[in-house]
């Protein structure tokens, strides 16, 4: 397939690894897994590669496989509309131009619209304020009074990276996060040379990390029948926080009350013990407002600050995200509104009835710990569908309503047994759960199960016609 264009709204490729340049940014699963299976990288500097290396890897892949020549940058989309007259999509850009395509694959991701918290007076602060995904490198943090709002994955990496530089660091926590040891280390030149000379040797290490991910996912999706697996992980994390944090009261505040796995857990050897520092404070009182000088907490105390860092995450399962533009299919149905009104759903996470010739790389019930394995699996299924249409000279592909509904009922039933639907997840504030109360982001099955599904499933769930 050579007639295609990749529409990128920014002026450079990379997505997450282009946007997130904060101190300490790194991948949270082993680098050997966080890469394409067909393009292993023997040059990773660490077991968990820093963000800059991931970005370099993506550029390497785009150049090696001649992808860059297909990318149209600064292509900010307003809407896409299906044309029933000729089975095409018209893409409407915000600058007023248009593009017509037979098929559209939506690969917009889910974590790309930063959330600015709805806090009273947020525009009043006279100091510097920015989101971790929009890090301001011109702001000097040395000897400054800094606050970071949020204790999710980004905060876990930022906090230990800046704690030694700042005068004082206040970490504002609404919900604590489960933290496990990070089995990280530098990869010596000896191993890099072996990986380059003997690719199978590196594949062995990839197999080990994939096996770990498989076990972790298995425990999450089978929580109802095998609750001891997540309980074991929970106890391990409790021991870790006890080992890392000296103050028993602080330990208690840093230990989640929700079950392990309800939110994506973090890995770090430095985050928890950073709270032992004299210049780092954990603040669990709610923020009542942001003032010109800093933050006022619910107890009425105003904390004077020079810099406020927002580690407040991204829009996820909300109307207007993933994708962030309107997708108008048959009968004028808009995809985001359909999901908002009727629950998030998609056949195999890639196709929705009334949206012919339109595919998703990250649809409902398809997420997992490893983004790359999800992408490869979903693209495998999409490309199988496109190849069948091409072989049979068909110009219209749409999933049948009956097949879609059967699959949707299947994933709903499967998700009931996952950790995400556990009562222990009520206090987690997890982005895995949508406003319908469904755990519609993560797949309710393991990566290996998905690997077989996309390769062995028949395509008779689709109607192919001209």
Beta-strand pair 287-290/168-172: unpaired
Mean per-residue pLDDT for 392-411?
98
What pLDDT is attached to residue 427?
77
pTM, two decimals, is 0.94
What pLDDT is attached to residue 158?
98
> Among 55-59, 81-85, 210-214, 239-243, whose mean pLDDT is lowest?
210-214
How far is 428 from 260, CA to CA, in rounded Å?
A: 10
* pLDDT tens per residue across span 144-198: 999 999 999 999 999 999 999 999 999 999 999 999 999 999 999 999 999 999 9
What pLDDT is attached to residue 421?
87
Question: Taking 90 as the threshold, does the pLDDT of residue 109 lie above it?
Answer: no
Question: Taking 80 as the threshold, does the pLDDT of residue 426 lie above it?
Answer: no
Structure tokens at 100: 């017509």
DSSP secondary structure string for all residues of 285-303: SPEEEE-SSEEEETTS-EE
Per the prediction, the chain carries an average pLDDT of 95
What pLDDT is attached to residue 382?
97
Q: pLDDT-derived band of residue 39, with 50, 70 and 90 as boundaries? A: very high
How far is 446 from 438, CA to CA, in rounded Å?
A: 18
DSSP secondary structure string for all residues of 401-452: HHHHHHHHHHHHHHHTTSGGGSGGGTTS--TTS-TTS---SB-SS-HHHHHH
Q: pLDDT-derived band of residue 431, with 50, 70 and 90 as boundaries? A: confident
Widest CA span in the chain: 70
- Walk me through the domains of the chain, giving residue ranges and CATH numbers: 76-111+319-465 (3.50.50.60), 128-184+206-310 (3.50.50.60)
Instruction: Spell out where 214-329 has E strands.
Output: 266-267, 280-283, 287-290, 294-297, 302-304, 307-310, 326-328
How far is 173 from 176, CA to CA, in rounded Å?
A: 6
Give the percent of the chain with pLDDT over 70: 100
> Among 53-67, 299-313, 424-438, whose mean pLDDT is lowest?
424-438
Q: pLDDT-derived band of residue 29, with 50, 70 and 90 as boundaries? A: very high
What pLDDT is attached to residue 424?
78
Give the list of residues 6+ apart from residue 208 with CB closer than 8 angstroms, or none: none
End-to-end, the C-alpha distance of the chain in Å comes to 19
What pLDDT is attached to residue 430?
86
How far is 441 from 431, CA to CA, in rounded Å?
A: 8
Question: Taking 90 as the threshold, does the pLDDT of residue 423 lie above it?
Answer: no
Q: Return the bridge partners of 147, or none.
A: 170, 308
Structure tokens at 347: 């056949």
Mean per-residue pLDDT for 386-411?
97
Mean per-residue pLDDT for 422-448?
88
What pLDDT is attached to residue 343?
97
């Amino acid at each position: 397939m050579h007639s295609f264009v990749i529409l990128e709204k920014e002026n450079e490729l990379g997505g997450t690894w282009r946007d997130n340049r904060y101190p300490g940014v790194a991948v949270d699963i082993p680098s050997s897994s966080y890469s394409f299976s067909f393009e292993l990288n023997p040059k990773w500097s660490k077991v968990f590669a820093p963000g800059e290396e991931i970005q370099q890897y993506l550029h390497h892949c785009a150049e090696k496989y001649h992808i860059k020549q297909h990318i149209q940058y600064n292509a900010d989309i307003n809407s896409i509309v299906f044309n029933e007259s000729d089975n095409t999509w018209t893409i409407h850009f915000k600058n007023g131009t248009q593009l017509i395509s037979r098929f559209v694959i939506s690969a917009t991701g889910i974590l790309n619209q930063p959330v600015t918290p709805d806090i009273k007076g947020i525009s009043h602060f006279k100091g510097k304020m920015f989101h971790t995904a929009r890090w301001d490198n011109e702001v000097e943090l040395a000897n400054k009074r800094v606050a970071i709002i949020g204790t999710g994955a980004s905060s876990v990496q930022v906090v230990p990276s800046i704690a030694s530089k700042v005068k004082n660091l206040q970490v504002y926590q609404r919900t604590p996060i489960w933290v496990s040891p990070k089995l990280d280390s530098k990869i010596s030149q000896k191993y890099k040379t072996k990986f380059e000379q003997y690719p199978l040797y590196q594949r062995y290490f990839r197999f080990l990390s994939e096996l770990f991910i498989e076990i972790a996912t298995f425990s999450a999706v089978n929580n109802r029948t095998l609750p001891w697996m997540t309980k074991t992980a929970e106890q391990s994390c409790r021991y870790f926080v006890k080992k890392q944090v000296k103050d028993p009261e602080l330990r208690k505040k840093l230990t989640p009350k929700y079950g392990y796995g309800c939110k994506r857990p973090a890995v770090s050897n430095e985050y928890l013990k950073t709270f032992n520092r004299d210049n780092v404070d954990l603040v669990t009182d709610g923020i009542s407002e942001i003032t010109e000088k800093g933050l006022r907490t619910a107890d009425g105390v105003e904390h004077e600050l020079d810099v406020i860092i927002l580690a407040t995450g991204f829009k996820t399962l909300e109307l207007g995200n993933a994708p962030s533009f309107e997708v108008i299919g048959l009968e004028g149905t808009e995809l985001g509104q359909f999901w908002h009104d009727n629950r998030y759903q998609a056949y195999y996470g890639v196709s929705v009835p009334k949206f012919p010739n339109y595919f998703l790389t990250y649809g409902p019930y398809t997420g997992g710990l490893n983004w790359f394995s999800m992408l490869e699996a979903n693209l495998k299924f999409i490309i199988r569908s496109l190849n069948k249409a091409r072989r049979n000279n068909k110009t219209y592909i749409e999933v049948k309503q009956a097949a879609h509904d059967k699959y949707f009922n299947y994933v709903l039933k499967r998700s009931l047994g996952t950790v995400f639907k556990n009562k222990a997840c009520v206090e987690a504030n997890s982005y895995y759960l949508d406003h319908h109360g469904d755990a519609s982001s993560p797949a309710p099955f393991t990566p290996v199960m998905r690997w077989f599904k996309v390769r062995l499933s028949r395509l008779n769930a689709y109607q192919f016609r001209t």
